Structure 1
Amino acid sequence: MEDTGVRWRSLVGLSAVWVPTRLLLLLLVFKVFVFPGPDVTGDVSVIYHGWYETLRGGTFPLDDVTWQYPPAAALAILSPALLPFLGYAEAFFVLALLADLAVLAMLVFTGTRPGRSPRGAWVWVAGVPLLGPTVYARYDLMVTAVAVAALLAGARRPRVLGALAAFGAMLKVWPAMLLVGVVRRRAWVAAAVTAAVLAAAFTLAMPGAFAFLTFQRDRGTEVESLGALVFHVARQFGWEGEVRLNYGSVEFLGPHVSTVSTAALTLTGMAFGWLLVWRLLAVRFLPHTAADAAFVAVLLFTVTSRVISPQYLVWLVGLAAVCLGFRAGTMHRPAVLVLLACLVTTLEFPLWFAHVVASDGLGVTLLFVRNGLLVLATVLAARELWRSTARPDVVEPVRPVTRSEPADTPATAR
């Protein structure tokens, strides 16, 4: 009875925060209230809507270099058709709200199981509104819902984890990293089969399903990325490059940009090399290891990427929520740093994005703080993952065998 009372109070508390914060987000994207800075809803009402019309014609936007997404992203762009009684943008915002609610429901439900905690639900409820209206004006929230569902299903249904991870990767690539810490072969087989079936289906059904790979290859250094700090500082000393809208984002163009972009790709390769070494040396795979490894992998991908768009942070909030949903989880400090980074992200975009583009003192300071928080979160998360799985000194010591126990029973088995 006491546990039921605690759960009920937790649910009431979550609802008391979720309802008003999400109502505020809806009022912002519906422009009842105007959030300062650039209009973040333009991607939906203009770009997504344009893609929607093209996709309805049975082909991908092959002539649009801003289409840089895997083929299943078409499903997210076409999803507003499920609500034909609303305009395209309005339907998209409502579907984003429903995806947000679905993640909360999954975290609340799993948080009542043995060994689980409602902390994950609180991370989600608090983290999403920190990103401001941008979070409802991109389809990343829908992808995050798929990723959260995959990780939460993984403990009991590895095939579901694999299938959902593959589907998520066909939506926006990064959910493929959910498999980094998965040891069950059934999950990997399900992922391979699902990816193959989806790839074949989209290739046969619509031309240009994988044209996005070329567009992604040609991207430069986006102004909010870690590498961009080089040019923000260089502009103070007369760097002759420029800032321009390129490939769908605001990027630096000019001398040495290609060098920094190549360095970012090299760092990404090194980061995933570290993940490979970790996987080879890991000796303990606990119930929360798959979620922790996914969190670390996506953090590594984010901080070393040539682009750190504001909506990327919702990926990290979702994965952090899953990690903290385990009572024995070790990602508390990185999760807090991610939440702080979400708040600073909203300050730099959209609130003071003009200062970021201008590389003035305020803009550069905001980027140093936000990216610094992400780098620190990455280092701490990677350290915790290594300590909890790969280092021999954290394995339970073998205690002396007593007369009441068989001599051939390992202490770790007991």
Structure 2
Amino acid sequence: METKAVRWSLTGLLLTWGVTRLLLLLWVFGVYVFPGPDVTSDVSVIYQGWYDVLRTGTFPQQDVTWQYPPAAALAILSPALLPFLEYTQAFFVLAFAADLVVLLLLLYVGLRDGRRLRGAWVWVVGVPLLGPTVYSRYDVMVTAVAVAAVLAAARHPKAAGALVGFGALLKVWPALILVGIRRRSVWASAVATGVAVAGLFAVAMPGAFAFLTFQRERGTEVESLGSLVFHIARHHGWDGSVLLNYGSVEFLGPWVTAVSTAALVLTGMAFGLLLLWRLTATRFEAHTAADAALVAVLMFTTTSRVISPQYMVWLVGLAAACLCFRASRMGVTAVLVLVACFVTVLEFPIWFADVVGSTPLGITLLLVRNGLLVLATVVGMRELWRATVPERTPPPPAPDQTTTPARETSPSP
């Protein structure tokens, strides 16, 4: 009976994946037009422009919108693997392939004993909730590497470490996977891979680390948690502006630097809480690495100065990896992430003009989406703490000093 139920679930899952992914491809290839601004322009204009520069053997050092670690060049150059297609077409196909790789990884793990298909369902449902943005950014490729690392951590530590090290040089955040891993072989493999890949790029291509300067100078993006201050302030006389700055739509004007600094402080506090958890946690099981990775990425995404829509695919991938394990306590957190994905596609791209214009609709969408992320972070951290940190047992009560001592008897003569 259980085998039959699994078979039916697998059939439904594959059908859902096929239909939703066909729809995503129809959107990015322009067969159907998705509401809002064209999200594929990042590929046809920005990515292809970087591609032309990277093919010459150097990074786009003069372009402030290049804010990625050196291995990101491989993702931008990857359409060269399909020379019979135009650049944008090849990129969409490769993004689709990365999506398929994640599904296959989740199915491979979810069909083993002691696992379940809940994780695969989270991925199948979560990705289309974000609309065509998923296939129009290279984040889905990074997520594939991160999911592979999380799922390999228990059985293949060295491979997991290598994937983490490589993923960190694709887009930094996969390094957070190490938070919940105690095995030294994973850390050693990650560091060795990261150093080797970074060194190779530093020697082979000029400008490999120029992104550090550009990233440091970013401001408060209009979709971030801190941006809500300015969205509301615009209705009360704040005289700042919204402009395309460093590759994203950001607030510029009075108090922006202060809010950006506050976001960095929140990120620092998040790091401190993760460090405290890591020092006090004692119960580490097979699913702990995935749970901790999801919580860590949630914390740093929510407190960031920038919450771009494509960041949500990171959370969907890690939530899916968590729910492959029956013992994972991230079920509620995963549901909150999925709901946040649905609200995200409403604020970008469908009603992005309202977000930029700080209309009541735009502000409401951001309040709901960012509120869901905050709630998911709090719930996830609470569950992770309860599952791994032992409760303090109260000390035994002190002996009652008021008890009347037994009466001494004098020895008989």
Note whether the superposition's TM-score is higher than 0.5.
Answer: yes
Q: Deviations over 1:278-300 (max 9, x none)?
A: 00000100111000000000000
Distance in 2 of aligned mates of 1:187 and 1:7: 33
**Bigger Rg, structure 1 or 2:** 2
Q: What is the one-letter code of the residue matched to 2:300?
A: F
Counterpart residue number, 2:262 = 263
Gaps of 5+ in 2: 394-413
Distance in 1 of aligned mates of 2:181 and 2:9: 31
Counterpart residue number, 1:50 = 49
Q: What is the one-letter code of the residue matched to 1:162?
A: G
Q: What is the one-letter code of the residue matched to 1:18?
A: W
Q: Deviations over 1:3-25 (max 9, x none)?
A: 54333222211111001100000
Q: Residues 77-96 of structure 1: matches in 2 within 5 Å?
A: 77-96=76-95
Aligned residues between the structures:
393
Q: Residues 68-147 of structure 1: matches in 2 within 5 Å?
A: 68-147=67-146
Counterpart residue number, 1:195 = 194
Q: What is the one-letter code of the residue matched to 2:374?
A: V
Q: What is the one-letter code of the residue matched to 1:74?
A: A
Per-residue deviation, 1:392: 2.3
* 1:240 is the counterpart of 2:200: no
Q: TM-score, structure 1 length as denominator?
A: 0.94
Distance in 2 of aligned mates of 1:98 and 1:69: 22
* 1:280 is the counterpart of 2:300: no
Distance in 1 of aligned mates of 2:29 and 2:106: 27
Gaps of 5+ in 1: 395-414
Q: What is the one-letter code of the residue matched to 1:103?
A: V
Distance in 1 of aligned mates of 2:255 and 2:151: 43
Distance in 1 of aligned mates of 2:43 and 2:347: 20
* 1:166 is the counterpart of 2:165: yes
For the residue of structure 1 that corresponds to 2:180, the secondary structure is coil
Counterpart residue number, 2:404 = none
Per-residue deviation, 1:170: 0.3
Q: Residues 287-302 of structure 1: matches in 2 within 5 Å?
A: 287-302=286-301
Counterpart residue number, 1:402 = none
Q: What is the one-letter code of the residue matched to 2:229?
A: V
Q: TM-score, structure 2 length as denominator?
A: 0.94
Counterpart residue number, 2:6 = 7
Counterpart residue number, 1:326 = 325
Counterpart residue number, 2:352 = 353
Q: What is the one-letter code of the residue matched to 1:313?
A: M
Counterpart residue number, 1:411 = none
Distance in 1 of aligned mates of 2:211 and 2:180: 27
For the residue of structure 2 that corresponds to 1:180, the secondary structure is helix
The percentage of aligned residue pairs carrying the same residue is: 70
Counterpart residue number, 2:406 = none
Counterpart residue number, 2:34 = 35
Q: Deviations over 1:203-247 (max 9, x none)?
A: 000001011000000000000000000000100101000000000
Distance in 1 of aligned mates of 2:21 and 2:172: 27
Q: What is the one-letter code of the residue matched to 1:149?
A: A
Counterpart residue number, 2:384 = 385
Distance in 1 of aligned mates of 2:14 and 2:277: 39
Distance in 2 of aligned mates of 1:22 and 1:195: 33
Q: Deviations over 1:52-79 (max 9, x none)?
A: 0000000000000000000000000000
Distance in 1 of aligned mates of 2:219 and 2:15: 43
Counterpart residue number, 2:185 = 186
Q: Deviations over 1:382-412 (max 9, x none)?
A: 0000000013269xxxxxxxxxxxxxxxxxx
Counterpart residue number, 1:410 = none
CA RMSD in angstroms comes to 0.9
Distance in 2 of aligned mates of 1:5 and 1:209: 52
